[in-house]
Each structure stands twice: as structure tokens, then as C-alpha cells.
Structure 1
Amino acid sequence: MEQQSTAKFSGVWSPEEVADFLTETTVPIRISCRTPRDDLWMLSLWYEYVDGEFRCATGKDADIVEFLQSTEEVAFEVSTNDPPYRGVRGRGTASLGPDEDKQQLRALLERYLGGTDSSLARSLLAPEREEVRIRITPEKLYSWDFSERMGESNDA
């Protein structure tokens, strides 16, 4: 049973439509945060949207781990890369935890690659690689959809 999000929703889609888009769309989430020196930083990660939160994974030594230990506030966007453009952006808080058994990473490999039988998957799942789970709890979500006004851009 999916947990109801406590985030504030605005934009063109209902909370259910937002959840459907975030569950069905397999582009990376773009995350913006601050470094310990208060500089802005942005990166893309694979995600899954479960129980009203984004779940990501990355290597323990990735810069984003240090940055999120310094400040938990993030902004994010999940949007299509091809016309007609549509997506969800917002802000929230990130929390870190170990992904010791690489369960989160495996879920992301299944979602984005369709399995773990690739050289990329094998290198990410290597026993010596330590993985960290990132959970982003949205506070505000805003959806947009330019399908109607860009409809003619898809006509050939």
C-alpha cells in the first residue's frame, strides 16, 4: 500500500498523476544542493518513486554524499528530454543511509537497465564497492505539461 505524500502539490497534475509520471518515467532525477562551502551543485541520479519519496543510490565516496551530510536541503527536477516537455520539480530534504546489501542499487538497475546482467551492473555491484542510499522527501512538488501547446512539434 502506497503511503500518502505530505508534500504540497501545485501545477497541472493531481497528486495521483504526479505519482504516475514519476513511477513510469525513466529519466534521471536532477538534484541541486549546496556544498560545504555554500556553492551550488547539481547532478543527475537514477531514482525510483516509492511511498511519496525519491530513492536513489550512489557510491559512498561520491561528492554528493559529503554535500548532503553538510546540508539536507535539495531542489530537484524530473522532466522529459524530448518534446513535448513535461515534468515535476520541487524541493525537499535528503537523508542518507547505507545500502549494505545493495538492495536499492539493484532496484535501480532493474528499473533503468532491465536487470543486473551487464558490465555496468556488475561493476556497480562489485563486493568492494560501498553503496549509499539517498532518500529525498519532497516538501513541494510542481508539475507542468507542454503537450497541448507543443503538440505540433511531434507531427512529422
Structure 2
Amino acid sequence: MTEYRGAGDAEGVADFLAETAVPMRLTTHRPDETLWTVALWYRYEDGTIACATGADADVVSFLRADDRVAFDVSVNDPPYRGVRGSGVATVERDVGKSLLRSLLERYLGGTDSELARSLLADDREEARIEIHPEDVYSWDYTERMG
């Protein structure tokens, strides 16, 4: 069961994550127990945060060894709002690159770009990372910052 603290309840957090298309910062542990943070595009659905990355990315091997994660999704311009938390992640193949395609639509507005074609290339294998939040904290300084 996810615990929500801060400015928003589960519905408010879900609305923010669904409407905010900024990269998520995902932190995991390297084999030597030091921390590793990457920025990834994400999609939020039904309490789960899903990201795609190359199957050979370091973060994929780190998550397979240790599934504990922390995450942050926040805007850089006032009024400051965001969601951060911790949880566990699972990694599997992004079959047919379906998640990647949906992320390209969300962040680039489609798959008709050089970047999209490069990411969707047949010789590139894609991984799907699903984050299952356990502890979530949100903040919203809209009223304070007007």
C-alpha cells in the first residue's frame, strides 16, 4: 500500500504525474552500494510509473541486482510543484517497444523525428522499468508563489 504525504492525496499525485511531461529522476544503487541517478521519460498509470530505456543501460543491470529506487518528478519553473518518493522497480522487455512509442508520443508529439527513428531502430532492444511507489511525498507552492 502506498503512503501519501504532503500537499496531495493519491488522486492529486496521479493528476500531477499524468499531466506533467518532464523527465523523472530515478535513483538506484550500483553494485558498490553508491547511488546512481538517471533522467528518464515516464508515463503514470494505475499507481505505477513506467519508463523505457535501452536494455543494455547501466541502470537496467543495477535494478536487476537491487530493485530499491527513489524518484523525483518536479517542475523547474515557479510555482514549484512535484512528487518524490521511494519504492521498488521491476525490469522486463518492452515488447514491440510499445512503451517507448507511447513515451515518444508524450514527449515529442510523435515518432517522426531522427531521435525517434534512432530509438525505434530494429537493432536496439528496449527495457521497460516499472516503479511501484511505496512512499510518496508531494509539494505545491502555487498559493505561496501565486
The TM-score by the shorter chain falls in which range?
over 0.9
- The SS at the match of 1:101 is helix
Tell me which amino acid in the other structure corresponds to 1:25: T
CA RMSD of aligned residues (A): 0.8
Specify which of 15, 22, 27 is matched with residue 22 of structure 2. Answer: 27
Aligned counterparts, 1:61-100, within 5 A: 61-100=56-95
Specify which of 118, 121, 124 is matched with residue 123 of structure 1. Answer: 118
Shift of 1:100: 2.8
Aligned counterparts, 1:13-24, within 5 A: 13-24=8-19
Tell me which amino acid in the other structure corresponds to 1:109: L
Q: Which runs of 5+ in 2 are unaligned?
A: none
Partner of 1:105: 100
Q: Which runs of 5+ in 1 are unaligned?
A: 1-5, 152-156
Equivalent residues, number: 146
2 CA distance for matches of 1:33 and 1:134?
12
Alpha-carbon contact 1:30-1:45 (below 8 Å) kept: yes
Please identify, of 10-19 and 134-143, the stretch whose mean Cα deviation from structure 2 is larger.
Answer: 10-19
- The SS at the match of 2:95 is coil
Q: Which aligned segments of 4 or more residues in structure 1 are displaced greater than 2 angstroms?
A: none
The two structures have a TM-score, normalised by structure 2, of 0.97
The two structures have a TM-score, normalised by structure 1, of 0.91
**What's the % identity of the aligned pairs?**
59
* 1:38 equivalenced with 2:33 (yes/no): yes
